[in-house]
A and B are shown apart, each in its own frame.
Chain A
Amino acid sequence: QQQVKQSPQSLIVQKGGIPIINCAYENTAFDYFPWYQQFPGKGPALLIAIRPDVSEKKEGRFTISFNKSAKQFSLHIMDSQPGDSATYFCAASNSGAGSYQLTFGKGTKLSVIP
Chain B
Amino acid sequence: EADIYQTPRYLVIGTGKKITLECSQTMGHDKMYWYQQDPGMELHLIHYSYGVNSTEKGDLSSESTVSRIRTEHFPLTLESARPSHTSQYLCASSKAGGGQETQYFGPGTRLLVL
Contacts and interface: CB of A to CB of B under 8 A. Distances in A.
Interface of A: 32, 34, 36, 40-46, 49, 51, 87, 89, 93, 95, 100-102, 104-107, 109
B92 A106 contact: no
Contacts of A105: 42
A41 B102 CA distance: 20
A101 B99 contact: no
A108 B70 CA distance: 36
11 contacts: A32-B99, A42-B107, A44-B105, A49-B102, A89-B43, A101-B58, A102-B45, A102-B103, A106-B41, A107-B41, A109-B40
B42 A46 contact: no
Nearest to B91: A43
Interface of B: 2, 4, 31, 39-43, 45, 48, 58, 90, 92, 94, 96, 99-108
Given A87-B40, A95-B100, A95-B101, 9 more contacts: A32-B99, A34-B101, A45-B2, A46-B103, A49-B102, A101-B45, A101-B58, A102-B101, A105-B42
Contacts of B42: 89, 104-107
Contacts of A51: 100
Contacts of B40: 40, 87, 107, 109
A93 B92 CA distance: 15
B101 A93 contact: yes
Nearest to A43: B105
Contacts of B106: 43
Nearest to A44: B105
A105 B43 CA distance: 8
Contacts of B41: 106-107
Contacts of A44: 43, 90, 105
Contacts of A49: 100, 102
